Amino acid sequence: MSCIKPQTIAAAQKTYFTEVHGLPNISPLVRSVEETPEPIPTTVKGTIPSWIHGSLLRNGPGKFEFGNQHYNHWFDGMALMHRFQIVDGHVTYRSRFLRSDSYKQNSERNRIMVSEFGTLALADPCKNFFQRFLSRFEMIKPTDNASVNFVKYKGDYYVSTETNYIHRVDPDTLESKQKVDWSKFIAVNGATAHPHFDPDGTAYNMGNSYRNKGAFYNIIRVPPERDGPEDTLEGAKILCSIAPRDKSKPSYYHSFGMSENYVVFIEQPIKMDLFKIVTGRLRGKSLNEGVFWDPNQETTFHLIDKHTGKEMPVKYHAKALSTFHQINAFEQDGFLMLDMCCSDDGQAINNFLIQNLRQSGEALDEMYNTMSRPLPRRFVLPLNITSETPLEQNLNTRPDSTATAVCRTKNQVFCTFEDLHGEDLKDYGGLEFPHINYARYNTKPYRYYYGCGFRHLVGDSLIKMDLESKKFKVWQQPDLYPSEPVFIPSPNAEEEDDGVILSVIITPVKDKSTFLLVLDAKTFEELGRAEVPVNIPYGFHGVFNSSTFTHY
């Protein structure tokens, strides 16, 4: 493979593309696999610290076809849950498909019966012609294929996607226990798979609602207490509703930021054309056909006070960018620092078609090279804006910060970012799937973040970044593709990076050669690995479940 050469499209924009040749084929990483419902042992090489007691729970797509019908998009595959249980230096593995209604209906008919993000279910051939014709006028029903993440509400684990359905699951057996509908508790049509948590367990999330007057973005709060064993989302409330810039074309968002006192919603120019989505079945188009990138619109940051539920009158603007995951957000000296991985182009969501991931040769290289690289960046938002605040001058007075914040009017601040990395990170394709020591440093000043380098369409390295020096450590081996890193603090940890990193490593070049990797978070050296003779497709997100603490 040739080296990656950053190409600056415009000095002010800093949009980085790449020139890579000879990317290896990774199609085995997006193929269907069998579940392993009973625990099987692993072979441990090296040493897995005996103080780690708990389970790494992972979620992602595991089945990409039913019968002779195939899904189109990576996000469409049926949810396959994984559990790596770690006890006294030993590891067992099990996996189970989520028994969602989508999975059960598809399995019973051995065809795709329920539409997903990038795949429109065809009319049932068992229906007569008139019934099939009428079905084209029905709206696409939301899927309950919760394949994105494990989340926790009131002490229970759920798997989640971005529709209104989540599933409560047993974190030990991975059995599906209960389908839960957000819309039965609050007026939303979905919620993200990336909630945030206060130290007391209060959960915050975001979800859209679609009303007669158009779409709204909603901030959701779920209390930590439960009134009984059957409690699910009882007590959930909408903290605040925000009107989109264009109610017929709201922004798509995968996650949001949160500091100690504010929820930060990033209204980005990845747009959803509601007319196209509503008429998708009539036009024979899937949901993703209604999602588009509008580079002519600015990005807007909305701040919502967590205590009052009120949106702050000042709006913070930036040039067009796209973001899937935030790193951290914290308040200090009258500023809110918002750290996130972002790109200067928003086409990526529609690039992850399965046919693209299965390409090889020049077609694969071209696909990768046309995608803007995700890079970690910081925006500095001044909180104390008043009628006396001067216009047209940089309000960011933080030392050694190159970010800017300029008042254009009394309620509008235009911001530029500073890089949270050195130039050498671009040699690793940027960074995504960021993680921090969440339990102790979320919403607080911090020094380290971890993530995957993306010198391919999926992560191909693990990276630890030091924000003080902008230097980083890397774990990378040929033909090995790591999942997002999950940080586990060691008992009685004093320093921020006292602990380990867990990541599931898969390979397209050798059958049944998956392993759980354990790195020393401080040195980023391998401590041990637990080899398991199964194939796992490249997945999305997960959590560590422990009897003494939980990493969210």
The answer to the question of whether 541 is labelled as a binding residue is: yes
DSSP per residue, 128-188? -HHHHHHHTTSPPPPP----SEEEEETTEEEEE-SSSEEEEE-TTT--EEEEEEGGGTSS-
Are 264 and 240 in contact, with CB atoms under 8 Å apart?
A: no
**Contact in structure between 115 and 135 (CB atoms under 8 Å):** no
What are the phi and psi torsion angles at 215 (to 5°)? -85, 155
Contact 190, 163 (CB under 8 A): yes
**Collapsed DSSP state (helix, strand, coil) of residue 457:** coil
Residue 279 tokens read as: 């008429």
| Contact predicate 194/341, CB 8 Å | no
Tokens coding 428: 């690793």
Q: Is the dihedral of CA 25, 58, 219, 237 positive or negative?
A: positive
Q: How far apart are CA 393 and CA 380, in angstroms?
A: 14
Angle (CA) 428 530 527, round 5°: 65
CA–CA separation, 488 vs 248, rounded Å? 43
Under a CB-based contact definition with an 8 Å cutoff, are residues 79 and 60 in contact? yes
Bridge partners, residue 550, by sequence: 545
Burial class for 310, CB neighbours closer than 10 Å (0-12, 13-18, 19+) = exposed
Running DSSP on this structure, what letter comes out for residue 3? P
Name residues whose C-beta falls within 8 Å of residue 111's C-beta, 6 or more positions apart in sequence.
66, 67, 69, 122
Long-range contacts of 175-179 (CB under 8 A, 24+ apart): 175/96, 175/99, 176/98, 176/99, 176/100, 178/232, 179/100, 179/101, 179/144
* 70 in a known ligand binding site: no
> What's the chain's Rg over C-alpha atoms?
23
Task: Check the annotation: does 317 bind a ligand.
Answer: no
551 is in an annotated binding site: no
Phi-psi region of 168 (alpha: psi -120 to 50; beta: other; left: phi over 0): beta
Task: Give the helix ranges, DSSP H, for 375-492.
Answer: 438-441
- Which residues carry a binding-site annotation for Fe cation? 194, 254, 325, 541
User: Binding-site residues, please?
Assistant: 194, 254, 325, 541
